[in-house]
Amino acid sequence: MSWLERISPPDIISTNGHLIDSLFTYTTIMACIFFFFVCLGLFGFSWKYSAKKNKVVDYTYGNRKKQLKMTLVIGLLVFVLIDLTITWRSNNDMINEFWNFPKQDEDITKVEVLAQQWMWNFRYAGADGEFNTGDDVLTNHDLHIPVGKKVEFRITSKDVIHSLFFPNARIKVDAMPGRISRMWFQPTKTGIYDIACAEMCGTNHYKMQAKLYVHTQEEFDEWLSEAQHLATIGNDTDNLDNFWGWKWGDK
């Protein structure tokens, strides 16, 4: 494995993950340019104006008009080239993509997520299309979704704060007890990927991983119908612990 492969982030599997990488790249280029000038000053002046080479200093407080202008220009350059640009880009990305949640009537995959020490529980609506009923499909550690279709998660936690992290989709959101947080992305590639807990949640935090299976639509339908069948015959409806879900749309 080359060093470049080693240090690059995992493959992108979502329609909008590249936005984050490209903003990262822009910020990196700008940071490198400005840091280059800092180093140029630091090392260049050290070399040129060392006590050995330069005995007579420029006696100035740096408050001449020209110097003040220069300082101000540097400040403004940083503000416009870096701050304004990345704030503007990031804001657009958030409004157009990451905060632009699927509409009510869109055909999407809906998943409710319950985090607990140290496991991820996933809930699909099941055959009746309603959440928190006896026929819901319940999985833990494994999340199955179809490719090419938006998936929305509604997330909460049973005990402590966790954070649902899809490295391949470049996105994470906290799972908090007493609150429901939301997240969506649209997978573009089939395959098996890692899901991580990103927020410290106790001794076994490092073990709190799950797997993301992105299927083709046909494979997913097959998996879902089998899972629904198993749910109708196998769910223990007497066990209240299985009813940790809530009506989709309820907060």
User: Reading across the β-sheet that carries 109-116, which strands appear in turn?
Assistant: 137-140, 119-124, 109-116, 151-157, 181-185
Query: What is the footprint of another protein within residues 122-151 (CB under 8 A)?
Result: none
Q: Is 7 in the site for another protein (CB under 8 A)?
A: yes
Interface region with another protein, contact rule CB under 8 A, candidates 26-34, 122-130, 142-150, 216-224: 26-34
Closest to another protein by CB, 50 or 239: 50
Q: Under rule CB under 8 A, which residues in 30-59 are in contact with another protein?
A: 30-31, 34-35, 38-39, 41-42, 45-46, 49-51, 54-59
Residues 227-246 close enough to bind another protein by CB under 8 A: none
- CA dist., res. 216 & res. 91, Å (int): 33
* Structure tokens that stand for 128 in this block: 């009746």
Tell me: does residue 119 bind another protein (CB under 8 A). Answer: no
Q: Are 197 and 126 in contact (CB under 8 A)?
A: no
Stretch that binds another protein, among 123-131, 140-148, 157-165, 227-235 (CB under 8 A): 157-165
Of 122, 131, 153, 193, which lies in the binding site for another protein, with binding defined by CB under 8 A? 193
Please state, in angstroms and as integers, the Cα–Cα distance from residue 126 to each residue in 10, 200, 243, following that order.
32, 32, 13
CB of 26 to another protein, least distance (A): 10
Candidate residues 113, 125, 137, 196; the one interacting with another protein per rule CB under 8 A:
196
CB atoms within 10 A of CB 108: 16
Nearer to another protein, 43 or 217 (CB): 43
Helix axes 85-93, 17-48, angle to 10 degrees: 170
Restricted to residues 57-86, the positions that interact with another protein (CB under 8 A) are 57-63, 67-68, 70-71, 74-79, 82-84, 86
Binding to another protein, residues 82-101 (CB under 8 A): 82-84, 86-87, 89-91, 93-95, 98-99
| Cα dist from 250 to 71, 180, 246, 247, whole Å | 54, 9, 7, 5
Nearer CB in complex with another protein: 24/237 = 24
Q: Which of 132, 139, 188, 209 binds another protein (CB under 8 A)?
A: 209
Figure out which of the listed residues 161, 227, 235, 246 binds another protein, where binding follows CB under 8 A.
161
User: Which stretch of DSSP H or E encloses residue 75?
Assistant: helix 65-77
Residue by residue, DSSP assigns 10-49 as PPP-BSSHHHHHHHHHHHHHHHHHHHHHHHHHHHHHHHHT
Terminal Cα-to-Cα distance of the chain (whole angstroms) = 46
**# residues near another protein by CB under 8 A:** 94
